[in-house]
Amino acid sequence: MAPTIPMEEYKFNIDNGYLEGLVRGFKNGILSRNDYLNLVQCETLEDLKLHLQSTDYGNFLANEPGPLVVSTIDDKLREKLVVEFQHIRHHAVEPLSTFLDFITYGYMIDNIILLITGTLHQRPIGELISKCHPLGSFEQMEAIHVASNPAELYNAVLVDTPLAPFFVDCVTEQDLDELNVEVIRNTLYKAYLEAFYTFCEKLGGSNAEIMCEILAFEADRRAFIITINSFGTELTKDDRAKLYPRCGRLYPDGLSMLARADDYEQVRAVAEYYAMYAPLFEGAGNNPGEKTLEDKFFEYEVNLNKNAFMQQFHFGVFYSYLRLKEQECRNVVWIAECVAQRHRAKIDNYIPIF
């Protein structure tokens, strides 16, 4: 009997070889340190556009009339990413298609919350729709403002979408207001993350290895951020504990400790127990010259995503490519804002990728 040969890797290229090759090609076009060094030397947004012409972005801003503004750059960067993702999604078959759909659910959750919040503030639906992320659009999106409480939202709008199973936990009769909307967002996201984690675990092999690590970090990061952001709000500790995703390394002990934490120092003490999170809290602060905790989390995430490309024949490359490209968009927009406002003090606060 031959030694155990993992069967998925032999059959991966039949359905997914072209798409993995495509994504690796896209990954090679991600801006390098050199590109960022050139971008921070730009004096105007036109210089930025000229430099981006020599990268993989090419002439994406060529047909924009009038003086350039940062929001146009942001839209166009995102549009390119959306086109690439949708091309990949259209060519994908099971199980990659389910995997890619799972990725879009995260954006759908963000869109729903954006629409609900916007409706609460009486914004016209047309304005809100244009702010939604195109990867997370679904048919019933525009009719969200019909609902006035979560039960209605579920029964009328969400029950036909793929997000229905995640909504089971938060169907209540309370009215939608500011605090509740955030609670809904985090509850939805927790259910989504746990479902995604289970799906990746079932895929097995290097898929599980890589994706579960990334998703575990995502879960732990959310737990930390929820805890820190909930200090000084009306959210009780029990409610807070219900929002922690359970698929990370902090489950169960770390999560119970976080549930009892009262201030930033206690959160930091919890992180000390975990070797990979302790260095993120060290040296993080809001003083100038220090990196904020968010930035450190982003850096760690970028590292995890880069490592995904070290192995072949798994779906993690698609997820990682999307996240790295988003980080790149954030970087370019940050630099563009600093350039446009001529406030170059913090222009180097981007997170280099390659």
Residue 132 phi/psi, 5° resolution? -75, 155
In the complex, least distance from residue 53 CB atom to other proteins, rounded to whole angstroms: 8
Cα distances (angstroms) measured from residue 259 to each of 157, 218, 238: 33, 18, 7
Q: Which residues pair with 178 in a beta bridge?
A: none
Integer Cα distance of 181 and 153 in angstroms: 12
Question: Could you count the other beta carbons within 10 Å of the beta carbon of residue 167?
Answer: 22
Q: How far is the CB of 125 from other proteins (least distance, A)?
A: 6
- Rounded least distance, CB 116 to other proteins, Å: 13
CB of 69 to other proteins, least distance (A): 16
In order of 156, 191, 221, 303, 315, the CA distances from 99 in angstroms are 26, 16, 22, 21, 8
Strand partners, 291: 284
Nearer to other proteins, 43 or 326 (CB): 43
Tell me the closest approach of the beta carbon of residue 38 to other proteins, in angstroms.
Answer: 6
In the complex with other proteins, the residue whose CB is nearer, 46 or 253, is 46
Q: How far is the CB of 142 from other proteins (least distance, A)?
A: 4
CB of 256 to other proteins, least distance (A): 39
User: Residue 233 class from Cβ within 10 Å (0-12 exposed, 13-18 middle, 19+ buried)?
Assistant: exposed
Tokens read off for 55: 């990268």
Q: How far apart are CA 36 and CA 34, in angstroms?
A: 5
Q: 85 or 138, CB closer to other proteins?
A: 138
Q: Give me the least distance between CB of 37 and other proteins, in Å please.
A: 10
Rounded to a whole number of angstroms, the CA Rg of the chain reads 21
Residue (57 or 318) nearer to other proteins, CB: 57
Q: Which is nearer to other proteins, 78 or 145 (CB)?
A: 145
Cis peptide before 150 (omega within 30 of 0): no
Q: In terms of Cα–Cα distance, which of 20, 71, 73, 21 is closest to 46?
A: 73
Closest CB to other proteins among residues 43, 282: 43
Strand partners, 284: 291
Residue ranges in contact with other proteins by CB under 8 A: 38, 41-43, 46-47, 50-51, 53-54, 62-63, 65, 125, 139-140, 142-147, 152, 155-157, 159-160
Find the shortest distance in angstroms from Cβ 98 to other proteins.
22
**Are the beta carbons of 329 and 39 closer than 8 angstroms?**
no
27's CB contacts (< 8 A; 6+ apart) are 309, 317, 321, 324
Q: What's the rounded Cα separation, in Å, for the pair 336 and 110? A: 25
Closest CA to 259 of 278, 275, 244, 280: 244
Q: How far is the CB of 161 from other proteins (least distance, A)?
A: 10
- Candidates 165, 71, 174; CA nearest to 109 is 165
Residue closer to other proteins by CB (options 40, 241) is 40
